[in-house]
Amino acid sequence: MSSKRARASPAPGEQGKRPKIATVILKFPVSFSQEDKYESKVALQWSKQVTRVYISCNGHNAVLLPGINCKGNMLYVQCCCSQRCKPAADAAGAAAASSSSSRSCKLFGLEDWVEAHAGGPVIPGHDDAAAERLVRSAVSASSSGWGGQDTQPLGAFLAGHSRALGGQALVGRGVCLDWGGHNAGPDDEGPGARGWYAGRLVAYDPASGEYTVKYHSDDSMHPLIPAIARLHWGSKPPTAGSKPQVALPQPMGCLARRVLRQQATRQQALVLGLLRVGRVVDAQQRPCQRP
């Protein structure tokens, strides 16, 4: 990603070998490094499991892909513009896309997509906070499609999503983030092996909707927003072969708790009844003892 600011954050604890990703027909900007290509592929796979965030800027549409960091220079988008959107592809992608039956997917870094592709505002390269404010105000977002009823500026959308999840109440909750892709095979050293990193939410900013996760492996901390994170809700990674818990488990409602209490009471009464019956039968079958 041709970001003007430093972007790549090392995985907490250690730098694991990247897992292999299934070959797909993709188009990348020339500026994409191998790391960008890998990360955007993983993000694209994750987008199939989470609620999509549809974004627009100056009439250009895209899907914001989930990442491990919520900053604009760490996120990728899947461009959904018309045929006029033609980022330069690498050699393999160009050869595959030449087939009439091929389906191409165009990926960009979020900041590059806003500034260079959608013709949005120029992203300052020296001020992280200003760049974030600019991107989150210039881009609109929705969970129901482009132009959906819940469309609002990206910043307000993300903050509202975190607030709806529980806001400050989620601080202290255990989470796991996928730094290596959650669908690697048994011979890969990524998901399920060294791709998952466990941590705990230690802080919440209601203005931006950002949480701070502190990793157990080395106490490093990173910002995240659940709406756009490769996140598993749980203190431990998902077991091998199981899917990550991408939706926040909802607390049990009053009615559900009442039903469970009633079921427990009935079971307890049944057990006590069986015990009484057993005592009576036992007493009847026991021979009388003469003094």
For the chain, give every domain's residue range.
Answer: 26-233, 254-291
Q: Report residue 117's pLDDT band, with 50, 70 and 90 as the boundaries.
A: confident
> What is residue 92's predicted lDDT score, i.e. its pLDDT?
36
Residue 281 has pLDDT above 80, yes or no: no
Q: What percent of the chain has pLDDT over 90?
A: 27
What confidence score (pLDDT) does residue 259 get?
66
**Which pLDDT score, from 0 to 100, does residue 93 have?**
37
Q: What is the pLDDT of residues 19-65, one digit of tens each?
A: 343 344 677 777 787 878 888 888 888 888 888 999 999 888 999 99
Residue carrying the six token digits 């210039």: 138
> Residues 93-111: what's their mean pLDDT?
56
Q: What tens digit of pLDDT does each residue of 192-240 get?
A: 344 888 999 999 999 999 999 999 988 889 899 999 999 999 988 888 7
Compute φ and ψ for 207, nearest 5 degrees. -70, -40
> In this predicted structure, what is the pLDDT of residue 59?
87
CB-based burial label for 208 (10 Å; 0-12, 13-18, 19+): middle
- pLDDT category at 11 given cuts 50, 70, 90 is low
Q: Tally Cβ neighbours within 10 Å of residue 3.
A: 20
272 band by pLDDT with thresholds 50, 70 and 90: confident
**Using CA atoms, how far apart are residues 182 and 44, in angstroms rounded to an integer?**
12
145-149 contact pairs (CB < 8 A, 24+): 145/54, 146/54, 146/56, 146/61, 146/80, 147/56, 148/54
Lowest mean pLDDT across 96-100, 125-129, 263-267: 96-100
